[in-house]
Amino acid sequence: MVSFCAGFSVRIMPPKRRAATAAKAGGKKAKEETPKPKDAFTSAKEALLAAGPQVKGKRKVDDYCQLSGSGEVHEDYDCMLNQTNIGHNNNKFYVIQVIKANKKYFTWNRWGRVGESGQNKLNSFNKPEDAVKDFEKKFKDKTKNNWSDRSNFVSYTGKYTLIEVDGEEDAEVKVDIVDGSKVKVTKNVLDCTLNGATKSLIELIFSNDMFKEAMECMNLDIKKMPLGKLSKQQIAKGFEVLEEIEAAMNRKSKSGVLEELSSKFFTIVPHNFGRNRPPTINDKEIVEKKKEMLMVLADIELAQTLKTETEKAQEEIEIVPHPLDQDYNSLKCGLSLMDKGSETFKIIEKYMKVTSENGYYKPKIINVWEVDRETEGERFSENDSLENRRLLWHGTNIAVVAAILKSGLRIMPHSGGRVGSGIYFASENSKSAGYVRTSKNTGVMFLSEVALGKECTITKDNSSLKKAPAGFDCVVARGTVEPDPSKDIFITLEGKQVAVPQGKPIDQPQFTGSYFGNSEYLIYKESQCRIRYLLELNMRG
């Protein structure tokens, strides 16, 4: 599951998923109950752009420039350009900036292959207008666009494309002007109120190093985007190109068309392929992976936005909460560390142990928190009439945990999957563990109370599902094994009885012919689940 910044989610397929199944799921289009259906890309683009234009922060001098420590970007004269051409094995960048330093002005140019530091040139000028003129000439030469008209930027074949990035805002201290000089005002930062375990968790899920690690795992170029992260608009443009690629595949277009569109995608969303030729996006499994990648980017953007907004809110205050308290409060989600000696902890620990013994991973619990998301309880109460409640597993990428705690587990229409567009859960930890993406072997899983109601049982793939069939409240893709139902126990959560498996998985003879090895539980209404527990895990055990 990957939570999307505007309140959607997409389910990441595990690496070992059959290619045929992934292709089958990836090609489905989502529909909404409107006269003119919108596909998922349109929904995603609208959600991204609904937030309005990006608020640009202070621009940062390129780290590779010798003036990075002493200079500053003049006004907004800086840009990141990118160009990918698969046919010519091009995957290159170009950085242009106007820098003011020591009462002089400079234009800084750096260029090369994505993933390398490249070549550079620093030109010196006495007047700012001369440096600006040089900057604008270089921008025109490289893009065929006028800098003054960049808001209407047009990409040309054989030229570079402008990559929209957010500036980096230094919000650590408040700066006042006294007698014409800048004076740093020292803020009084309060002590952190979080316990040690929660403090470490918040540090992890908001860690820039962790976000960078997640991006590198997806071959995204982070070294060649030193000026900031991709903007919402840039992510939306990536969706648009994937939309074009899917349409071309559906038309069975020639390979040259897909090569050109793939070049366009990698130009808009820079990837680091080293000296290898960028691949052509030519099947639905690759498209699905790129969708997932953009969704992770969007959630990383949300986490960073939460952090920035909280910092800006404190700019005019001289006594401020500890930064980790600020990050925690931005989630609007209560996290209560669970006593490892409590009965609930022991139940959860056994649930994990017995349902992970036969899996690839042997996770070990580091800590467990009770989760109370603002307004989620009220939304969940809409399903008070539904019985058949179970505590079920949900694995995710650690890079999106902050977004999930903020926005909840949500449905992204194009998530697809073997059982359609819904929120996926499992009764076996080993199944959900396949969706966990770690940082230094630390992963996160959720246990949610799911109001299943009346189950519709299936034993074959049905990726077209968008809701439970008439007369049913959920869909269960029954596996050939299931935790021994005779060992289930019941816990009481806010007056409701919730089943928790405690037995090892056993064969289910009545489902011997099922296409599913492990059962998957699907709901198609977000209100039918409530996150109850967050588990921090050592995935190596």
| Three-class DSSP category at 81 | strand
Point out the catalytic residue in the list 244, 520, 526, 536. Answer: 520
- List beta partners, residue 450: 390, 529
What percentage of residues in the chain have a pLDDT greater than 90? 61
Q: 34 vs 43, 293, 532, CA distance in Å?
A: 13, 28, 34
Residue 489: inside a domain, yes or no? yes
With 0-12 / 13-18 / 19 or more C-beta atoms within 10 angstroms meaning exposed / middle / buried, residue 48 is: buried
Statement: residue 480 has pLDDT above 80:
yes
* CA–CA dist 397, 413 (Å, integer): 19
* CA–CA dist 204, 467 (Å, integer): 35
Q: CB 415: neighbour CB atoms within 10 A?
A: 30
Q: In the block, which residue shows the tokens 């260029």? A: 111
pLDDT mean over 420-434: 95
CATH code, domain with 412: 3.90.228.10
With beta carbons less than 8 A apart as the criterion, state whether 537 and 445 touch: yes
- Cβ within 8 Å of residue 4, ≥6 positions away: 10, 44, 47, 295, 298, 299, 403, 407, 410, 412
| Averaged pLDDT score across all residues of the chain | 84
* CA–CA dist 135, 309 (Å, integer): 32
Structural domain total, the chain: 1
Residue 530: inside a domain, yes or no? yes
Instruction: State which residues form the domain around 32.
Output: 2-39+332-538
With beta carbons less than 8 A apart as the criterion, state whether 314 and 170 touch: no
* CA–CA dist 93, 84 (Å, integer): 9
* Among the ranges given (21-30, 420-429, 432-441, 478-487), the one the predictor scored with the smallest mean pLDDT: 21-30
Provide the pairing of β-strand 90-101 with 104-113.
Answer: antiparallel
pLDDT tens digits, one per residue of 102-111 = 999 999 999 9
Q: How many separate helices (H) and strands (E) can be counted in the chain?
A: 13, 25
* CA–CA dist 389, 199 (Å, integer): 32
Q: 89 vs 69, 219, 237, 261, 278, CA distance in Å?
A: 35, 16, 22, 14, 7
User: 520 an active-site residue?
Assistant: yes
Phi-psi region of 457 (alpha: psi -120 to 50; beta: other; left: phi over 0): beta
DSSP 271: B
SS (H, E, C) 91-119: EEEEEEEEEEECCEEEEEEEEEECCCCCE
What is the pLDDT at residue 162?
92
Smallest CA-to-CA distance from 112 within 137, 99, 94 is with 94
DSSP assignment of 24-68 equals HHHTPPP--SSSS---HHHHHHHHHHTT-S---------TTSTTT
Smallest CA-to-CA distance from 106 within 144, 148, 78 is with 78
Q: 47 vs 7, 35, 118, 456, CA distance in Å?
A: 9, 19, 36, 32
| Long-range interactions of 301-304: CB distance < 8 A, separation 24+ | 301/5, 301/229, 301/230, 301/232, 301/235, 302/3, 302/5, 302/402, 302/403, 302/406, 302/407, 303/205, 303/206, 303/211, 303/399, 303/402, 303/403, 303/406, 304/211, 304/229
Smallest CA-to-CA distance from 201 within 305, 322, 327, 301 is with 327
Statement: residue 524 has pLDDT above 50:
yes
SS (H, E, C) 410-472: CCCHHHCCCCCCCEEEECCHHHHHCCCECECCEEEEEEEEEECCCEEEECCCCCCCCCCCCCC
| Three-class DSSP category at 13 | coil
- The answer to whether the pTM exceeds 0.85 is no
Statement: residue 291 has pLDDT above 90:
no
pLDDT tens digits, one per residue of 224-283 = 543 345 677 788 888 899 999 999 999 998 889 999 999 999 988 888 888 899 999 999
With beta carbons less than 8 A apart as the criterion, state whether 227 and 221 touch: no
Residue 244: inside a domain, yes or no? no
Residue 23: inside a domain, yes or no? yes
DSSP 230: B
Statement: residue 27 has pLDDT above 70:
no
Q: Is the model more confident about 518 or about 420?
A: 518
Statement: residue 206 has pLDDT above 60:
yes
Residue 315: inside a domain, yes or no? no
With beta carbons less than 8 A apart as the criterion, state whether 292 and 10 touch: yes
- In the structure encoding, which two tokens stand for residue 195, read together? 């316990």
Statement: residue 476 has pLDDT above 80:
yes
Q: In the block, which residue shows the tokens 């139902």? A: 485
Statement: residue 516 has pLDDT above 80:
yes
Smallest CA-to-CA distance from 359 within 446, 429, 437 is with 429
Residue 7: inside a domain, yes or no? yes
pLDDT tens digits, one per residue of 70-96 = 999 999 999 989 999 998 899 999 999
CA 10 to chain centre: 9
Residue 438: inside a domain, yes or no? yes
Residue 284: inside a domain, yes or no? no
Statement: residue 429 has pLDDT above 90:
yes
